[in-house]
Amino acid sequence: MRSLVSGLGSQLRSAASIALPALPDANELLILGMGGSGISGDYLAQIASAHGARISGHKSYGLPGWAGTRRPVVLAISYSGNTEETLSGVEAARGLDLAVVAVTTGGALGEVASTEGWPVVNVPGGLQPRAALGHLLGTAAMIAAGSGLIPSPAPDLEEAADLVDSLTEADGAGWALASDLAADLSTRAVIVYGSTGLTAPVAQRWKAQINENAKRPAWFSVFPELDHNEIVGWAADPGVNRRLGIVTLTDRDDGARVSSRMRITREVTAGDVDWIGEVRSQGESPLARMLSLTAVGDMVSVALAEASGIDPMPVAPIEDLKNRLREES
Ligand code: F6R
């Protein structure tokens, strides 16, 4: 997983030059996908919003109620091609005769796309879905551009790739920062704070990577909403709070009021929260800034796993749950 995390930059670079099939023109894109595949939709929704384009993610069965009237192009992303929620959305899209584009390594999604003649982009196989973020997100961004919704993301993917490479180089400063954070978090459950906009989906990615790679409980919350509820909970029994640590992700576009909220939140909870850290985005484009934070989170999750002698790769509970659901279908 350490080398896969270090490979994020080269995945982004290779996505920037992929050959796309002919794509439908889109006024709007609806991205279906779960977990390590679906997070690409959340990232892309933020990138699109910076361009005034409408891209949204759907992480459940079927389609949102508005799909039949707004008729978005549906982009189904499933690394395995066998995720039942995503397949259910694809089935609903077929029923509504919506244009569908697939990103996958094969599976049932690859089969239905080939039967229906839908455009498919095959990404390299043999990885864990969450370790294929550069391929999945990069490809989805290229498809959004190919459908006319956003300008070509290739320059931003290149910028992000260079930045991520510098952060994740072996024995570099990025891994040292990750090890320091992991040391502070090693005895704590982690809560990752982002803010509405670019860092919210990155906070979700940090949470998921810590869950799956380090096999630890972690959650994420988002400013400004968390100031309207979560801060009250920090007044709990210190025996609970002492087992928790907060990492706040910051970005230059957080805005003055959210930055003030972050500072004041820290001040008013300082006596109750046992450990608070901060990681700031780097880079110029929104994509590069999101991916710089992502790279640090990925490295922290691996450093946490390694420090506890845990293999970051397998995710047995996810596989077991999928198998049990399959037996019941
Ligand atoms: C595993 C992982 C999971 C999967 C999810 C959906 O590495 O990250 O969150 O991504 O269970 O499966 P796929 O991606 O195959 O559609």
Among 228, 267, 327, 328, which one carries the catalytic annotation?
228
Mean pLDDT on 198-219 = 97
Helices 133-146 & 154-168 angle (0-180, nearest 10):
170
CB 183 within 8 A of CB 65: no
What pLDDT is attached to residue 270? 84
Would the CB of 139 count as within 6 Å of ligand 1?
Answer: no
Q: With H, G, I as helix, E, B as strand and everything else as coil, classify residue 312.
A: coil
Res. 46 pLDDT band, cuts 50 70 90: very high
Residue whose structure tokens are 């499933």: 78
CA distance 151 to 166: 26
Query: Within 13 A of 24's CA, how many CA atoms are on the CB side?
Result: 18
What mean pLDDT is reported for the chain? Answer: 96
Give the ranges where the chain is alpha helix by DSSP (H): 2-6, 8-15, 35-50, 67-70, 84-95, 107-116, 133-146, 154-168, 173-185, 199-214, 230-233, 238-241, 256-269, 286-307, 316-328
| Residue 85 bears catalytic tag | no
Res. 128 pLDDT band, cuts 50 70 90: very high
| Residue 215 bears catalytic tag | no
Phi, psi of 202 (to 5 degrees): -70, -40
CB atoms within 10 A of CB 33: 28
Res. 111 pLDDT band, cuts 50 70 90: very high
In terms of pLDDT, which residue wins out, 63 or 240?
A: 63
pTM: 0.97
What pLDDT is attached to residue 176? 94
CA 135, 105, 5, 14: dihedral to nearest 10 degrees? -30
CA distance 310 to 298: 15
The residue nearest atom 5 of ligand 1, judged by CA position, is 35
Res. 322 pLDDT band, cuts 50 70 90: very high
In terms of pLDDT, which residue wins out, 143 or 235?
A: 143
What pLDDT is attached to residue 316? 95
